[in-house]
Chains A and B, each alone.
Chain A
């Protein structure tokens, strides 16, 4: 089982499940991150956090703390 945090820039993954809880869960899902979504990790910020991800043809950034709670399957 790997999480989005472990995915290297340039790799594409499928979201298996979103373990983020509370209100944040709804926000992630509304932004299009849910089971079955295809994601591509674009890059990591110069200081090592947050990360930038391509989702549904736009770029979104969030912290590794949340990326760690997104379970993914490597494509």
Chain B
């Protein structure tokens, strides 16, 4: 027998992903639906000698094409015609969940209903007669709890050709009546909006009729959920609790877990691995250029990105966990007012906040936004949230040129970044992305304890995407930059005589009126596109400091004589502003390409940030000169 194709459909927050993960385990693959930033998850379940192909459709509340996700689901059901649609229904919230079910039944796709979250429904005082529910809806219904083995086994047993057959045959008088009514409404010739409304009403009427017979509701008790929610989003305590959780998130990522592991990895790559590789290359008698390519090009280049991996994994682990608990929806709820002022929804807050750590996960996080338009805008402005890699640049220049006022200077850069993000967000909203804003309409799901499997799988998906990038785009860019920095047209060369230096010299005049028109700054700007922190190490190499000290103050002392001669405090500030705003690093550009799925938008992101940085830092330098800050 050939494989059965099954599609999982259901509302968000119904445990659909947990069921998908439990069914497919590691045999799953996450891609994108063509041309859009919506996850497409496919996987396999092997039952004896039979294979079941499973697609996890995006979670939606309806099939009415109100959103991208809803269009994807509807198109998939109509065009791909899966053998069976498993409709995951949250039993504790059955009335609204059945709305999607009714639409599935109207479409006539073979549907198996899985009642999930039965334990929560029970604590709410709901009792179901599953037999009656199945009869009334006219399609098979099973009860399964994603988190229990028994419930899952029942679902696995149902995924066979006999269920497919059964789901195609049955029907009910109530459903037939409803479908007839919908057809009559569509043919009535009334105003289409009015027809749509009456159809929505008739669907809920049908649901009421079904539940009247199949649901025995008793008075539930106020759950721990309501009490917890009253505390967590409390009018007075809500904000402090939120700030505390965000602080812990960042501390765990950048101080307790992620950063220490990253530092260890960095240490390993830059000493052990480098030593071992150079030893091995010498032992086999590799040519000098090959040694240099491997050590200075590949290991240094890819290594500088790979050290971010522990950070990214830690951050995504914590975010996936918080998301699974339902707290992320509360973050959007709490921050919506502030984000609305700048034309975004509360859901955009988290990606922006993460941007202060690293722009890569920030851009990946933009997926959580409701509309393609909001996602694009968030992706385009997220790079202005000054990431951790830019801090060494500020630290160095602030220590050199603004001793005693470092914090104020660095703070001003962070604030400028936020201001630019808001400004550009508003500009995009009112120009290219003009249109009617979607109203904010968000479910606040009950608090739940997420399953470790789901959290770990989500973390792995995002982390893997980053690893693949390090292995492809960043690898090739590292080789390219190495080539340019070690050769000129007559052969091997020191960096100051290399092609890169020549290119630096060519672009240097671009910054003639910015106060940093030296070829060294030009080269630093170029290598900064590889990785922002490379700006500091490049300047170190170019100004003849063998090993740039880790600590900003020590590094500043090393470079004082050389850099101090080329920069003034004003031009140093202009250079920092340029570093803050210009083209994001390779890892970010690679992520943008993946998320927006278009070279056009990626090149736009690279170019408009460069242009904005050029203009703003020019204004600051020239404005500063006029105001007499030139010395």
Contacts and interface: CB of A to CB of B under 8 A. Distances in A.
Interface stretch (B31-39, B332-340, B372-380, B480-488): B332-340
Interface string B438-461: 111111111000000000000000
Interface in B216-238: 229-230, 233-236, 238
Interface of B: 61-62, 64, 66, 92-96, 99, 124, 193, 196-197, 200-201, 204, 229-230, 233-236, 238-239, 333-338, 340, 346, 436, 438-446
B64 A61 contact: no
A49 B96 contact: no
A51 B236 CA distance: 15
Nearest to A56: B95
Contact of A63 (B92, B238, B439): B439
9 contacts: A27-B439, A27-B441, A30-B64, A45-B337, A46-B334, A50-B346, A58-B443, A60-B441, A61-B440
A48 B200 CA distance: 31
Interface residues of A, number: 34
A44 interface: yes
Nearest to A27: B66
B242 to A, nearest CB: 8
A1 B222 CA distance: 32
A44 B197 CA distance: 29
A5 interface: no
B439 A20 contact: yes
Given A46-B334, A56-B93, A31 B235 contact: no
Contacts of B337: 45, 47-50
B93 A24 contact: no
A32 B95 contact: yes
Contact of A60 (B62, B200, B229, B443): B443
A34 interface: yes
Contacts of A47: 239, 334-338
Contacts of B201: 29, 34-35
A50 B333 contact: yes
> Considering residues A28, A34, A47, A52, which has the most beta carbons from chain B within 10 angstroms of its beta carbon?
A47
Contacts, number: 118
Binding site secondary structure of chain A: mixed
Given A58-B96, A61-B336, 6 more contacts: A45-B334, A60-B442, A61-B444, A63-B440, A66-B440, A66-B441
Contacts of A29: 197, 200-201
B439 A62 contact: yes
A17 B201 CA distance: 13
A24 to B, nearest CB: 5
A23 interface: yes
Residue in A20, A28, A32, A46 whose Cβ sees the most chain B Cβ within 10 Å = A46
Interface string A10-52: 0000000000101111111111101100000001111111101
A50 B336 contact: yes
B489 to A, nearest CB: 60
Contacts of B230: 43
A57 B443 CA distance: 11
B96 A31 contact: yes
A65 B64 contact: no
A24 B438 contact: yes
A31 B97 CA distance: 9
Contacts of B99: 30, 32
Given A30-B99, A32-B96, A63-B439, A49 B233 contact: no
Contacts of A49: 336-337, 340
Given A43-B235, A45-B334, A50 B440 contact: yes
Nearest to B335: A47
